[in-house]
Structure formats: C-alpha cells, structure tokens
Amino acid sequence: MNQTVEQWDFPQRDIQIGISQCLLGDKVRFDGGHKQSRFCTDTLGQFVNFVPVCPEMGTGMGTPREAIRLVDREELGVRVEGNRTGDDYTEALTQFSERAVERLPHLGGYILLGKSPSCGMERVKVYRTNGHLSDVRRSGVFAEKLLERYPSLPVEEVGRLNDPILRESFLTRVFAYSTWQQIQQEGMTPGKLIEFHTQYKPILMAHNQQGYRDLGAWLAGVDKENIEQKAEQYLPKFMAILKQPASRKNHTNVLMHMQGYLKRFLASRERRLLSQTIDQYRTGALPLIAPLVLMRHLFQVHGCDYSGNYRYLFPYPEPLAINEQP
C-alpha cells in the first residue's frame, strides 16, 4: 500500500527528553543565572516534552551557591569540591544522581550542558590538589551515572548541537530510539522487529553499509522464542551504527538506490534533474539537503510503497532540520 508523507508525521510531544535544567532558562546555576538554549526551548520544545533535572539543586545546594569542580585526590579518587571552601560534595551529588537516573527509563534522549562537573558529558576539567589542571578529563558526576545506566540513550551536549552533522545525528537517534520505545511498550514481536529494521535500512546504510548487512544477518534467526533476548541485544547494535558519522559516499549510494524506486514514476526531465542533483551532491557541489528536498517533493507527488524511504527522508520533524543555533 502506498503511504503518504502525512502518515509519517510524528506524534507531537509524546517524546520525553531529559535536559540540564538551566538550558530551559531556569535560574538554577551557581551564580543565580541560567544558560537558556533557544533551540531547545523554542524549536525542539515544539516537538518534545522536556524533563528538567538540575543535579546540584537536587542535592539541596541552592542558588546562588559556591562553584564546584572536580579534584583528583589520588588515593581517594576524583572528588567534587567547592572552589572556595574545599567542601566535599561527592557523596551528595553521587547519591542524588544514582537515584535520579533510576526515575528516567522513559526518556528518549538527553541534552546536557557541557563542562559542568555535574552535567558535562565528556572532557570536564579535573584539577590537581595543588590547584593546577590535571591531564585527565572525564564526565560530570550526573552525566556519568546517566551514561552508565542507559548506554544506548541518545545523549548530547548542547554546544555540540551547533554542529549540523552532530545535531542531525542526535535528532535521528532520538526519534529512532523513541519509536523503538513505543514498539517495546506495545509489545515487540519478530515481525515488528524486522519491520523496524527494514524501515531504518537506508539510514543504517548511510551510516555503515557493512554494519547494516551484519545486523540484518544477525537478525535472521529471530523467532517467538528468542524475541525478548534478540530485541534487547539489537538496540545497542542499532544505536552504535547510528552513532557513526554518515558519509557522502554512503548517502550517495542510498540516494541512487531510492532513485531506482522513483524512476518508473518520473518523466524524463524529472529523472535527469534528480540524477544531476545526486551527482552534484556526490562531487561536493551541493549539500545533502538539496537531493533530499527534491526527493521529498517527488515522493510527495508520486507516493511510494517502501516505508524505509520515508524514514530516510523524514527521520525527524522537518522544522528541526532548520539550521538554528542552540
């Protein structure tokens, strides 16, 4: 059966995204300020529900408060200490973080404020006891617990969402992960698992062709007996492929493959235009959005009987593709 683009509209606000609370404009920072991200509040917020967490407020530190940092105390490990007083907040922050992440299994993604000793995803500075910077970089305390507890969850720092490729990767993973969660809630079956894999075929291929083939081969033995185990093992493999950067060469292959589906519907002028646009993308003369927009238009006009094409052309709601700064 042909599917129209409208059938693939994402249900608005069903997706729950965890977020460092200061990014929503709440004045929870140590200095009484916030770090509002307009991309999050004004754009992404139209399509998802945010679940705000401020780990430092959660431990009862209040605002304004003393700034904290990570300090390598060697035999005592890395501690969280007040910049001025040297007060040790490690236990309070760790215990809050462990409790908080247990309450978040419904999330479809997480956006963190970078550099924070609580929320930073990676490369957070660690100091030596003499006050100098150490060579070690690590995650903030809350972020570490989050990543440990949900290794497949799409997690990104807000600053990295400035990069269009990282933003696209994050959004694609969020909407794929949330789709997966919805299927899991409704009850996974071998048929639904295969259908999910088929829908994401072009996207997987754009990220890693061999990875897609290997995952498909691994999936071949799925049945009613092993579905629970297979589904549990499938998700981390699937998310690991999506985390790899998609290449121009792979996108070109996918576009040419999809062109094959469309060919029989197109007039010769349309066919030529599509071939030229894909080729200009292949050589770097055009960005990916050019063949995508043209294909979206052609699929909208002519329809298509393969759902994977729609997932590739519309991996997340279209307004989110607009290049706004977080």
CB of 137 to ligand SF4, least distance (A): 17
Our CB check for ligand SF4 shows the closer of 124 and 204 to be: 124
CB of 87 to ligand SF4, least distance (A): 16
In whole angstroms, give the CA distance from residue 294 to residue 322.
Answer: 16
Our CB check for ligand SF4 shows the closer of 116 and 208 to be: 116
Our CB check for ligand SF4 shows the closer of 142 and 175 to be: 142
Q: What DSSP designation does 11 have?
A: P
CB of 324 to ligand SF4, least distance (A): 21
Report the amino acid identity of residue 250.
N
Q: What DSSP designation does 245 have?
A: P
Helix (H, G, I), strand (E, B) or coil at 304: strand
CB of 154 to ligand SF4, least distance (A): 18
Helix (H, G, I), strand (E, B) or coil at 109: strand
CB of 113 to ligand SF4, least distance (A): 4
Residue 215 near residue 238, CB atoms below 8 Å: yes
In whole angstroms, give the CA distance from residue 15 to residue 249.
Answer: 32
Helix (H, G, I), strand (E, B) or coil at 217: helix
Q: Report phi then psi at 48, rounded to 5.
A: -135, 165
Binding site for ligand SF4 (CB under 6 A): 20-22, 28-29, 54-57, 113, 116, 118-119
Our CB check for ligand SF4 shows the closer of 118 and 250 to be: 118
Our CB check for ligand SF4 shows the closer of 21 and 90 to be: 21
